[in-house]
Amino acid sequence: MKKYQLGEFEEIVILTVGILNNEAYSVAIKDEIESRLSRSVSMGALHTALKRMEDKGYLKSFAGEATEERAGRPKRYFEITALGKKAIHYTKSTREELWRAIPKSVLQINLEA
């Protein structure tokens, strides 16, 4: 299988696009990540990641309806492409393989310490 390259932040972003489904636009993606992960996200970093993943073919974007609230500018929505779905499945299976390879004793927590 082809190696798909997703960095940690890209993985978080593409999974969030999946969570939001038809409502995945930049502000909603940012808010969802911050809410779920208690992690601050800059719009610059988010836009860079979205563009990079669109350039790789993992996401595609389209313009929504223009609104008065946005001075007539449409929101740009994102959706996961077939290639993006392959990339997240590959990433998930790779992580699961790594987790399974760790000896149980390494992950054992001593609650008395």
Phi (first) and psi of residue 62, to 5 degrees: -150, 155
CA torsion, ordered 79, 83, 86, 88, to nearest 10 deg: -50
Over residues 53-98, the pLDDT tens digits come to 999 999 999 998 777 776 678 889 999 999 999 999 999 999 999 9
CATH of domain 8-107: 1.10.10.10
User: CA 35, CA 30: separation in Å to the nearest integer?
Assistant: 9
Tokens for 26, please give them: 């930049």
- pLDDT given at position 23: 94
Report domain extents, the chain: 8-107
Dump strand ranges (E) for 1-113.
59-66, 74-80
Cβ–Cβ contacts within 10 Å for residue 19, how many? 14
